[in-house]
Structure 1
Amino acid sequence: MAAPRKHIRILKTKEIEGMDMLWKTGTATREQMEREYNIKGDRLKKLCHSEYLEERTGKIVLGEKGIEKFKKE
């Protein structure tokens, strides 16, 4: 059995919507991301590890890759 991947390569639609909201507003709480975009637990950790998001004292902001993704659009 293969080990689980730590980096995310393909984003889900809800994750893109959540990052779009972060691009517009700048920050969200962990609870908001879990409730409105169903990004929680291990998936949230993987998004942070892949640098799409960053978690700072309970607040979620866009990471380096997340910013690059929305600058291109």
Structure 2
Amino acid sequence: MTALMGALQWPIILTKLGYLIDSPWNNALDPPSTLLARLLRPITLIGFSLGTRVIFHTLLELAQSKASGIVQDVSLC
């Protein structure tokens, strides 16, 4: 039984490392923030959890493209 558990330990560790590398947080972050930065008009943004990260990176994209006056208010929870 010890040999079996030892043989299964590496695949389990690799599965957990794969989750860290291909994190859903990182996958969900890039496309929405870039798209949202292009589509915004004067608006108030309210974000919670993952939405907070998307709004934050959207604001970074807007700052880099020097698009001022698009976002009126931001509320991050």
Do both proteins adopt the same fold according to a TM-score greater than 0.5, normalized to the shorter chain?
Answer: no
Q: Higher Cα Rg: structure 1 or 2?
A: 2
**If the length of structure 2 is used for normalisation, what is the TM-score?**
0.30
Instruction: Considering fraction of residues, name the structure with more helix.
Output: 2
**If the length of structure 1 is used for normalisation, what is the TM-score?**
0.31
